[in-house]
Amino acid sequence: MEAMNHQRLTVLLGPSAVGKGTVVARLMELHPQIFLSISATTRDPRPGEVDGQHYHFLSRERFLQLVNEGAFLEWAEVHGMNYYGTLKAPIEEALAKGRPALLEIDLAGARQVRKQVPDAQFIFLAPPSWEELESRLRGRGSETEEQMARRLETARVEIDAANEFDHIVVNDEVDHTAAKLACLMGLA
């Protein structure tokens, strides 16, 4: 990713159930010019998720083929279960057109992007409290106990790494949080 305005690239990390999806949806409503990266994943679609819109849902074989081709800016095995990755080409294209680009990825992915694109901006979306996060995660009810335990453990590790990020934004209220993110992306 040479000769691009990397300051227009923002990486957003937030533990499962922190409300990242809602905040990002609000941000996109307010600023539709943002290019929101659609990740590739090997996990199964949840009810209502659309291929090419929420994720590019790929087989493990196809995913690993793309890894070998060097198509990913970053990729990681998340929650020890499935692969997730950011395809390079659409991001390069968006940045070349001058659009701000936003990546929602996990900690391992964010660290890879930090190495490859050090002047990108890294934002951590934090819950108002750990208790709140846990109750939101349990309230979602879309996962088994085992999956939820994994997600809670991942969230703990992510929260411990929050100070590696350029900014920590507490998701207290969706409009307020979306406005803060827009401001950090130079869009407010």
Residues that constitute the known binding site for ATP: 14-21
Asked whether the beta carbons of 117 and 98 are under 8 A apart, the reply is no
d(CA 182, CA 100): 10
Cβ-based nearer residue to ligand 5GP, 84 or 165: 84
CB of 84 to ligand 5GP, least distance (A): 4
Q: How many CB atoms sit inside 10 A of residue 50's CB?
A: 9
Annotated binding site: 14-21
Task: List strand residue ranges (DSSP E) for the chain, in order.
Answer: 9-13, 35-36, 40-41, 56-57, 72-78, 82-87, 101-104, 121-126, 167-170
Of positions 6, 11, 16, 117, contacts ligand 5GP by CB under 6 A: 16
CB of 106 to ligand 5GP, least distance (A): 4
Q: For the CA atoms of the chain, what is the radius of gyration?
A: 16
Cβ-based nearer residue to ligand 5GP, 3 or 48: 48
In the shown chain, the binding pattern of residues 77 to 116 toward ligand 5GP, with x for contact by CB under 6 A and - for none, equals: -x-----xxx-----------------xxx-xx-------
Could you tell me how many residues of this chain bind ligand 5GP (CB under 6 A)? Answer: 14
Residue 176 binding ligand 5GP, by CB under 6 A: no
- Tell me, what amino acid is at 158? E
Q: Which two tokens stand for residue 31?
A: 């600023």
Nearest alpha-carbon partner for 185 in 2, 29, 12: 12
Residue 17 binding ligand 5GP, by CB under 6 A: no
Cβ-based nearer residue to ligand 5GP, 3 or 53: 53
Cβ-based nearer residue to ligand 5GP, 104 or 121: 104
